[in-house]
Amino acid sequence: MKTDILGIQFDNLTREEAKEAGAALLRSPEFHYAVTPNPEFILAADKDLEFQKILNQADLVLPDGIGVVYSAKILGTPLKGRVAGFDFACDMLDVLNEMGGRLYLLGAKPGVAEEAGRRILESHPNIVLCGTHDGYFKDSDPVAREVAQAQPDLLFVCLGAPKQERWMAQYGPETGVKLAVGLGGSLDVFAGTVERAPEAWRKAGMEWLYR
């Protein structure tokens, strides 16, 4: 069920429901992509209708930002809650680990994706890390071909918005991946180069302030 928040069609799901929906996408043969808009996304999409269209065409649109949840409540169309992109990524890694699936990490500074992958495998030993690439590239075509050759099931695209969403929409289908997720700076958190806000801050909806 979709909920319109200032022009963006959000999936009104709990975190557990989002995990189930993502798992279904991961187990299907076609390409899918998920986006995690926060208030900055909404403001940008209001001025960039192409970006808005890309967000609304995603297979999953999850509210990453307590501001989105508050806005929904004020507008009289409340959401079940926030589903942070990082939490969704962790849930997808758990599903992929159960599947024994293949993971590709795209984005961040040189070396970050590799370290993120190493740490992910420590806690998810059944995942196959089939490739990494930093986010400092100008030509997307060879990167998309490299991803396709690696044959991943799950692709984390961490290029920042709106670049990562545009990249998934344009190049995702040719990668052959089952699920691509736009995740901003999440690879830095997985790699340990950036500390995530403590749980108390996250529960209070103040993760943005901690960052």
From first to last of its 211 residues, the chain has per-residue pLDDT tens of 799 999 999 999 999 999 999 999 999 999 999 999 999 999 999 999 999 999 999 999 999 989 999 999 999 999 999 999 999 999 999 999 999 999 999 999 999 999 999 999 999 999 999 999 999 999 999 999 999 999 999 999 999 999 999 999 999 999 999 999 999 999 999 999 986 555 544 454 444 444 4
pTM value is 0.92
Distance between CA atoms of 68 and 54, rounded to whole angstroms? 18
